[in-house]
Amino acid sequence: SDLQKQEERGELLQPLIFVLLVLCSVLLYFKVSLMDPGFVKPEEEEGEDKGQGVVIPQIPGDIKLRRCGYCLVKQPMRAKHCQLCQHCVRRYDHHCPWLENCVGERNHPLFIVYLSVQLVVLLWGGHVAWSGLYFEQSREWLQHNILLLVSFLLILIFTIVVLLLLASHLYLISCNTTTWEFMSHHRISYLRHSELENPFDQGIILNLWRFFC
């Protein structure tokens, strides 16, 4: 049959890989959106904070951990209370409306993996849509290809958004900072009073190693 011939020629391998990538993207989405991003528990002690990493001597010693006015827990350094999740989140990055969850210490690496897989799927889908287009200046061509053309334009827009989002996160990770710290540097006490612009930066390689490993 035609299906067996296509299998023998290896023509079914690429669609299978694409479907697996889409499935992987969906599973990663649910994993990142449903998992604990690093909520600060009331029973946790101050010294058990695993999100601080190495203590940086340039941070002034008079800056003490404060108690959150909403959930009444002691906030570890780099934690922030999320009004939508109603929790303090360790190494808070941002609240993602697409995931309906915070991106924090625990799910941030998986969030990067999700964006990477999503980008591959979009680039692949865009290539397929583009290869199916042949341009002619006629009304009939537009009527027959309008759906494919709109699909390609939507894929292109989503690709640009995901690419910019992934690039910005990788840049912030390489500097060992978060979106919240980057956007609110002047309002965060341990950054505002620090002698260094970013006291957590330990070099690109070590920053990436500590984040992903």
Q: Tell me, yes or no, if 102 is annotated catalytic.
A: no
Looking at residue 187, the DSSP 8-state letter turns out to be G
Specify the residue for token string 């591959």.
Answer: 120
Q: How far is CA 72 from CA 79, 82, 88, 146, in A?
A: 13, 13, 9, 56
Tokens of 176: 């060992």
Strand partners for 165 = none
Cβ atoms of 170 and 108 closer than 8 Å:
no
Would you say how long the chain is, in residues? Answer: 213
Cβ atoms of 52 and 76 closer than 8 Å:
yes
Query: What 3-state DSSP class applies to 38?
Result: coil
- The active-site residue, picked from 24, 68, 85, 96, is 96
Active site residues: 96
